[in-house]
Amino acid sequence: MAQSKSLKKPLLGRPEEDDIHSENNSAAGDRDESGDGSGSSGAPGGSWLLIAGLLIAMLFSALEGTIVGTAMPRIVGELGGLSLMTWLTTAYMLSSTTVVPIAGKLADLLGRKSVYVTGLLIFMLGSALCGMAQNMTQLIWFRALQGIGGGVMMPMAMIIVGDIFTGKQRAKWQGVFGAIFGLASVIGPQVGGWIVDAWNWHWVFYINLPVGILATVLIALGLKSHKAAGPVKFDIAGMATMIVGVVSLLLALSFGGGQYPWGSWQIIGLFALSFAALTAFVRIESTASEPILPVRLFRDRIFSVVNAIGFLMSIGMFGAIMFVPLFMRGIVGISASASGTVMTPMMVTMILASIAGGQLVLKIGVRPQMTAGMIIMACGFLLLTTLGMETTKLYASGIMLVIGLGMGLVMPLLTLTLQEHFPKSELGVVTSSSTFFRQIGGTFGMTLLGVVMNSRSDALLSANLLPLLHDLPAEADGLEESITHMVHTNPQSLYSALLSPESLAQIPQALLGSLVPVIKASLVASLHAVFWTGLAFVLFGALLTPLLGRVTVSGRSKEPEEAAAE
């Protein structure tokens, strides 16, 4: 297998040895080993069909992560199973995250076309079955199947962009595809709401079928088939241990502190199983002939630093996405749907910055742009710590605009840098690794920041709110018991229950004056702790950017004959 130039040189070489040029991939006889290259920077021949298929597939696979949430109340109302509702998201997240690195490796071994088309077919099958589900248990299993297809699709578009473009064209298209992902986040809830209102929740899943068929046809026509030169060796042991390790870790992070206490045998057992499986995975990958995620890649400075930055950025990103709407509902007092619109400026500036960043990086280089993006994100999180009782929707939206700008400058670079640095033979592995570490970072971020939120809230509410409950009138005994339970188990549910306009209207006026100010003050202080924690992770990521060395992206685009090489 071809090796990247960085792995043939000392890992701590001089800065000038760390330049990244497209020649890493297309010069010195390094041909397109995937057999899927299908065009050049001008996208001749069938490449426009391919790009259209990639854009459609990415848009709708990204939409699936947001539109289902809008349909949740209708689904539960028809199928029941309220206690299982969270599994609709968890099942998809588990399967899609776990399969990402496996899909990247299979794309290197079997070619992009067979893996991508298989992923699309699995996604469509899962979507059709989800639409036909008769109960919540069936729907959860079908969502897991749909997630497998989605996990295959997630990195494939970026991998194929890396195949058919290099240099400035690759930078541009990575920005465009990053913008498409951001667009899906903006319009997803609206699309989901429109589908549910116009038809029913089944069409949230059925809509994927005609769109998926169109994307599959375009991608099948645009991509060339891969012909393996010899027998293909699959790292079955590596796949098995990685699946067990990652699924156990994600389950522990998802259910710890919620369904089960962090110190329960269930959560400790899941963490122990994850540690054992991932330890075995590392040992297996060190000796496997075709490892899913080669351990030697982590000895490459750029690989490790880029994925660490993506991991840390995702932790901070979810701090904003999860908790700012809670602030807007609880403190500003707007509806759940209106609070979601506060996120729109973040997504819009992320889209614009992703597109512009693909061009800007050619002028200033990877390291300056990535540093600037992380610093801008950090400034946004610093501004989040200034949110208070008098904050307006306009001010919060302005802060989200700043965070989106920073995210948009960084996100396309995470994939672009790895693709420019490594040869074609490892493009699938390194591209999927970027997606994988960002998803793991997001899950870890949601868990960690949730723990910070609940811990700070428990302390504040126990000290300031619970003593007030003793003075409640006798008819409020049930309310006292309910609030005490929520304080110690799930303070976020307390905020949502007591600070929404609908709930406030049901609380006796005599109680509002004493309870609500304490709850709001606790929410503000708890969210400040969350934002300071997110800021710390983003700053840590910014401090890592100098370790990239002097990284540049070549302006040279791949010639048509190189792109079409078999």
Encode pLDDT of 362-378 as tens digits: 888 889 999 999 999 99
CB-based contacts of 390, cutoff 8 Å, min separation 6: none
Judged against a pLDDT cut of 70, whether residue 456 lies above it is answered with yes
Q: Are 3 and 25 in contact (CB under 8 A)?
A: no
Confidence of residue 508 (pLDDT cuts 50, 70, 90): low
CB-based contacts of 302, cutoff 8 Å, min separation 6: 6, 18, 20, 417, 418, 421, 548, 549, 551
Q: Which domains does the chain have, with CATH numbers?
A: 1-31+301-456+530-549 (1.20.1250.20), 34-230 (1.20.1250.20), 236-288 (no CATH), 457-529 (no CATH)
The confidence score (pLDDT) of residue 276 equals 96
* Nearest of 450, 423, 456 to residue 4 by alpha carbon: 423
User: Is the four-CA dihedral 165, 311, 15, 370 of positive or negative sign?
Assistant: positive
The confidence score (pLDDT) of residue 44 equals 40
The confidence score (pLDDT) of residue 336 equals 61
CB-based contacts of 219, cutoff 8 Å, min separation 6: 50, 53, 54, 57, 113, 116, 117, 120
Q: What is the mean pLDDT of the chain?
A: 78
Rounded to two decimals, the pTM is 0.78
N-term to C-term CA, the chain = 16
Encode pLDDT of 193-251 as tens digits: 778 777 888 888 888 898 889 988 888 888 877 655 556 778 889 889 989 998 898 88
Judged against a pLDDT cut of 80, whether residue 296 lies above it is answered with yes
The confidence score (pLDDT) of residue 130 equals 92
Judged against a pLDDT cut of 50, whether residue 71 lies above it is answered with yes
Judged against a pLDDT cut of 70, whether residue 338 lies above it is answered with no
Mean pLDDT for the stretch of residues 539-554: 83
Encode pLDDT of 120-146 as tens digits: 999 999 999 999 998 888 999 999 999
Confidence of residue 559 (pLDDT cuts 50, 70, 90): very low
Encode pLDDT of 373-424 as tens digits: 999 999 999 999 999 888 888 888 899 899 989 988 998 888 888 888 888 7
Encode pLDDT of 154-205 as tens digits: 888 888 888 777 766 777 777 777 777 767 766 776 777 778 777 888 888 8
Confidence of residue 337 (pLDDT cuts 50, 70, 90): low
Confidence of residue 458 (pLDDT cuts 50, 70, 90): confident
Mean pLDDT for the stretch of residues 294-305: 89
Judged against a pLDDT cut of 90, whether residue 447 lies above it is answered with no
Half-sphere exposure of 480 (CA within 13 A, CB side): 12
The confidence score (pLDDT) of residue 163 equals 79
Residue for token pair 């298989």: 118
User: Is the four-CA dihedral 310, 311, 316, 318 of positive or negative sign?
Assistant: positive
The confidence score (pLDDT) of residue 229 equals 59
Confidence of residue 321 (pLDDT cuts 50, 70, 90): confident
> Both tokens of residue 450?
């949730």
User: Is the four-CA dihedral 426, 427, 428, 434 of positive or negative sign?
Assistant: positive
Task: Give the Cα separation of 305 and 301 in Å (integer).
Answer: 6
